[in-house]
Amino acid sequence: AQKITQTQPGMFVQEKEAVTLDCTYDTSDQSYGLFWYKQPSSGEMIFLIYQGSYDEQNATEGRYSLNFQKARKSANLVISASQLGDSAMYFCAMSFYTGANSKLTFGKGITLSVRP
């Protein structure tokens, strides 16, 4: 079974500084995908970044980068130059690659607050 662990209950960061949100995962599968989503108070889940288990390079998308350490089973999200609009819940999630089993397993989420 897949499991995602996000243990930081809440994070605070000063505007324009970088912040790292932690995510560890557990799976016995070799082929999987890792995602980070942002959920503002409006409720919509906004895709941020994706890392495949066979990708050798860490994924980057603008101010977001994923620090993927496969041996340690961690997939931390790094947000550079935080903005006030980054205040939201952040979810780490994992999926299988098999065509017959397509679902996301989510962590509990982390609340990020950006201070001006």
Q: What is the CA radius of gyration of the chain?
A: 14
111 near 86, Cβ under 8 Å?
Answer: no
Binding mask of the shown chain, residues 32 to 61, with x at each position contacting another protein by CB under 8 A: -x-x-x----xxxxxx--x-x---------
Q: Which residues contact 35 (CB under 8 A, 6 or more apart)?
A: 47, 48, 49, 50, 51, 92, 93, 94, 95, 104
- 55 or 63: whose CB is closer to another protein? 55
Does the footprint of another protein cover residue 100 (CB under 8 A)? yes
> 33 forms bridges with which residues in the sheet?
52, 95
Does the footprint of another protein cover residue 9 (CB under 8 A)? no
Answer for which of 63, 64, 104, 111 binds another protein (CB under 8 A) is 104
- Report how far residue 20's alpha carbon sits from residue 77's, in angstroms, rounded to the nearest whole number: 6
What is the separation of C-alpha 22 from the centre of its chain, rounded to a whole number of angstroms? 8
- 13 or 112: whose CB is closer to another protein? 112
Closest approach of Cβ 116 to another protein, in Å? Answer: 27
Does the footprint of another protein cover residue 99 (CB under 8 A)? yes
Q: Which chain residues interact with another protein by CB under 8 A? A: 33, 35, 37, 42-47, 50, 52, 91, 93, 95-97, 99-109
